[in-house]
Structure 1
């Protein structure tokens, strides 16, 4: 395994704006950045509406029963033992509700499990306690992605999420991820992509994602795997097709050099974007 224990050029440059990560005091899901996560978010929103309606209906029944059938209003309690219409209704209606929930859930499962023709294949291997990545179809040998310690972080890099070597993929392209482990069970999870796959020694699992836009997307191991389980983050950098092609061509022989070149290009792009943003008010007055 080609291990890169030195801090990569990505760490030396200011971090690209994080597109997929959690934020302090955030409620709800991270922003959906892939087709799968968009479907998960939509399905969740539908469930919230259904569940809220059921809760309010049951609450209304409880309040109505408490008022309508209390001892004061009904000194002589009803001795009704059954009601055929009500019994049929409370059997059929829940079945219909479950069918309404089941149909989109099966579609979502099919979307998650059916991997489209992949443009890029990445193999992710879990170790105690870091991730190793390789690109089997591109000839890029396995490299390690180790969490940066606090004294290694640069401006803009999130604590406990930044790594020395990020996974680089093209934005807008289908990326197939083959997941396994070398020692104990881990779990490869990136919330903004809606993926979470167990990494099991001796077994190959797979998933896929399609990053909507360039940026950095963070995840973490999501299966308790030992003392430093909390310190094996995942960092995926999505770039343009041109940037990915240039990085890939160089990474085959010199990963560290490819990272340095890409980091320099991204830094230049950010500088130009910042200058354009500053100049925008002046240009808009013409």
Structure 2
């Protein structure tokens, strides 16, 4: 979940986001190693004429600094490609959530059930409870069960929007006339916050998203009482 003044990635609420965080850390280690090695060589070149003479002409050093970047790219590319395939995969969804972006609010439809749809607007500051966040709380939260595969069908009724949930590792464009698909699997209960991340007009910054993750039994009870 989101924490104020946090300069790192949000805590993951899905297995895919965990993998994205692992890939981020993996790549960051490689970048740190490269930075240290290149920095060491540059500093050494200023003070050591012997190294300068050795680097002027040398087949071996040219071979090494051609081979090492290629191997480094392979170590980055392989887990990246694996993640791309995992993010695109939709495995036997338990339910489907249809999401439509408007200027400037979201509407949701539980396509597997009759007449369960609602609009979700940003909650005015004057209506906030003590435990609610300003500018990212909504009047209607999206209720979803955790440990269940959920298919997302995302579109727009007017301009480009983007349905983004950082702690779930999901960011899907909502395009007029096009239906984009994604999937999420929330692995624990709680509140998950997101926002529209496509500049869609004057009130772009006032299109928050709130998902409330609950047990399957409570979700079924919510459906009955809706």
TM above 0.5, yes or no, is yes
Q: Which residue, out of 201, 207, 219, partners 1:232?
A: 207
How far residue 141 of structure 1 moved from its aligned partner, in angstroms, is 3.8
Cα-Cα RMSD: 1.6
Matched, 1:151 2:159: no
SS at match of 2:57: coil
Question: Does the C-alpha gap of structure 1 residues 139 and 88 become closer, same or farther in structure 2, counting only changes over 3 Å?
Answer: same
Q: Which deviates the most, 78-87 or 125-134? A: 78-87
Matched, 1:127 2:102: yes
User: In the alignment, what sits opposite 2:48?
Assistant: 68
User: In the alignment, what sits opposite 1:40?
Assistant: 20
User: In the alignment, what sits opposite 2:190?
Assistant: 215
Matched, 1:169 2:144: yes
1:120-174 Cα deviation digits (max 9, x unpaired): 2101100000000001112244310000010010110111111111111101111
Matched, 1:188 2:168: no
Matched, 1:27 2:2: no
Q: TM-score, normalised by structure 2?
A: 0.96
Map 1:241-260; keep pairs closer than 5 Å: 241-251=216-226
User: In the alignment, what sits opposite 1:87?
Assistant: 62
User: In the alignment, what sits opposite 1:117?
Assistant: 92
Work out the CA distance in 1 between the residues paired with 2:210 and 2:134.
12
Q: Which has the larger radius of gyration?
A: 1
SS at match of 2:98: strand
Question: Does the C-alpha gap of structure 1 residues 213 and 68 become closer, same or farther in structure 2, counting only changes over 3 Å?
Answer: same
SS at match of 2:158: coil
User: In the alignment, what sits opposite 1:268?
Assistant: none
The runs of 5 or more residues in structure 1 that have no matched partner are 1-19, 252-286
C-alpha contact 1:43 1:105 (8 A) present in aligned 2: yes
How far residue 34 of structure 1 moved from its aligned partner, in angstroms, is 0.2
Higher strand share: 2
* Length, aligned pairs only: 226
SS at match of 2:130: coil
1:20-69 Cα deviation digits (max 9, x unpaired): 22x22111100011011000000001011100000000000011111103
